[in-house]
């Protein structure tokens, strides 16, 4: 299955992508994680994107399209892929579609996790991540077993630098302006499945699982 997960910042894309990748055997590719890894390694791309990411703006299409399409072309995704955070503009969606066409592949579904803006602020304020393996936690909704430590590798958890309240407002504005049209674009192509993301992690997982089982014909 080739899938796209779309939704506002803090909607739970990363959280749900981990579940889907594990249960359905698809490769999870998060554009944000890819960019954060470039930044952590101090690559040329990482230095170029740092300012955009820190201010809640999208990085230019040209930069992100190249890096994500390269990962899709060269990565091991025999079981399919799950894109999280890409595409985020209509130009990115068009380029993805062209690239898949050329490779004789196509998308099976685009799943939108819909969460109202008011809930986003609270989710992002409580988010902590592992800088090593990128596992996502929440102080209340998904706390680690040992406070402040990653369950998987014991690393000290950190707060993302773009999770400050002022930056979150900018990220939300960017989402409404540039990414909502992508949702409409996929809807017009009959690929969109909308899920109410304002419920518990488990309830959202159950709805996504139902969509995917429907696609698998189970």
Active site residues: 13, 88, 127, 160, 171
Does position 10 bind ligand AP5 by CB under 6 A? yes
Does position 144 bind ligand AP5 by CB under 6 A? no
Give CA torsion, residues 11, 14, 18, 21, to 10 deg.
100
Cis ω before 87 (30° cut-off from 0):
yes
Task: For the segment 108-137, give every residue that binds ligand AP5 (CB under 6 A).
Answer: 123, 126-127, 136-137
Residue 35: contacted member of Mg ion, ligand AP5, none (CB under 5 to 8 Å, by partner type): ligand AP5
- The least CB distance from residue 217 to ligand AP5, in Å, is 27
Q: Are 183 and 6 in contact (CB under 8 A)?
A: yes
Which residue in the set 6, 28, 39, 56 belongs to the binding site for ligand AP5 (CB under 6 A)?
Answer: 56
Residue 11: contacted member of ligand AP5, Mg ion, none (CB under 5 to 8 Å, by partner type): ligand AP5
Task: For the segment 16-35, give every residue that binds ligand AP5 (CB under 6 A).
Answer: 31-32, 35
**Selected range binding ligand AP5 among 56-64, 73-81, 146-154, 208-216, rule: CB under 6 A:** 56-64
Q: Contacts with ligand AP5: how many residues (CB under 6 A)? A: 36
List residues binding ligand AP5 (CB under 6 A): 7, 9-15, 31-32, 35, 52-53, 56-59, 64, 85-88, 92, 123, 126-127, 136-138, 141-142, 162, 171, 200-201, 204
């Amino acid at each position: 299955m080739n899938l796209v997960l779309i939704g506002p910042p803090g909607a739970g894309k990363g959280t749900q992508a981990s579940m889907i990748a594990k249960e359905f055997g698809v490769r999870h590719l998060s554009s944000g994680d890819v960019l954060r890894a470039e930044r952590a390694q101090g690559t040329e791309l990482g230095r170029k994107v740092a300012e955009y990411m820190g201010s809640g703006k999208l990085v230019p299409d040209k930069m992100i399209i190249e890096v994500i399409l390269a990962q899709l072309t060269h990565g091991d995704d025999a079981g399919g892929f799950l894109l999280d955070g890409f595409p985020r503009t209509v130009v990115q969606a068009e380029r993805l579609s062209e690239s898949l066409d050329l490779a004789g592949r196509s998308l099976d579904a685009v799943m939108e996790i819909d969460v109202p803006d008011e809930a986003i602020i609270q989710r992002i304020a409580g988010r902590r991540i592992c800088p090593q393996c990128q596992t996502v936690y929440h102080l209340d909704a998904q706390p680690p077993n040992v406070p402040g430590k990653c369950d998987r590798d014991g690393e000290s958890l950190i707060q993302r630098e773009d999770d400050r309240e002022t930056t979150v407002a900018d990220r939300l504005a960017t989402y409404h302006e540039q990414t909502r049209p992508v949702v409409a674009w996929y809807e017009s192509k009959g690929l969109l499945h909308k899920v109410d993301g304002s419920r518990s992690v488990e309830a959202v997982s159950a709805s996504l699982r139902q969509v995917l089982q429907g696609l698998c014909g189970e």
